[in-house]
Copies of this chain bind each other. A is one copy, B any other.
């Protein structure tokens, strides 16, 4: 019953009643409990499922040997592809405050992708391609920009055709890239991210 996803996206976890989910799935309310022991278990399973899907798509598409610019582009396009294929799933896992009902296992999953992105950034920084700032900062900026764009798209404020996507990708690369004639080329050490 992953069409429970739609409800959670629309009204949030606490704003969604199990009967609503059941109605949307065209089953009886009790039926859901044959597959999920509780509402919380249901969100967590949903969350883990889609988080895994993104991660596997990204890991699979990631061009190991390519340059940082290409790696960035591929990751970006892959995530966009996912967000277009399953817009609800993307909105659900990225734009909700899950803190109050996700279990530890789900939270742990969340860290993996960001860990990966951070390490990629670190490598690019050592090559002088990316600004020598805290990789966490860079990653959050880019990911935040991405989410903002997708949210605007979902809410109908922005049309996302291939050209716009390509433009956005270049703009986000600019966010983290070292530009000729700017002070970042000197290899300043990045600050540590967390106390």
- Chain A residues engaging chain B, CB cutoff 8 angstroms: 9-15, 95-97, 99-100, 131, 133-134, 136-138, 140-149, 151-152, 156-159, 161, 163-164, 167-168, 171-172, 174-177, 179-181, 191-195
Bound: A175/B174 CA distance, A: 5
Bound: A63/B55 CA distance, A: 44
Q: With A144-B144, A145-B144 as known contacts, state yes or no: A97 contacts B134, CB within 8 Å.
A: no
B163 touches A174 (CB 8 A): no
B168 touches A141 (CB 8 A): yes
A158 touches B134 (CB 8 A): yes
Bound: A124/B131 CA distance, A: 25
Bound: A146/B175 CA distance, A: 12
How many identical subunits does the complex contain? 4
A14 contacts which chain B residues (CB < 8 A)? 11-15
B133 touches A158 (CB 8 A): no
Bound: A163/B157 CA distance, A: 33
Bound: A180/B10 CA distance, A: 43
Look across to chain B and name the residue whose beta carbon is closest to the beta carbon of A171.
B175
Most buried by B among A96, A136, A161: A136
B138 touches A143 (CB 8 A): no
Look across to chain B and name the residue whose beta carbon is closest to the beta carbon of A191.
B164
B12, B142, B171: the one contacting A133 at CB < 8 Å is B171
Bound: A147/B140 CA distance, A: 9
Bound: A115/B140 CA distance, A: 25
Bound: A147/B192 CA distance, A: 20
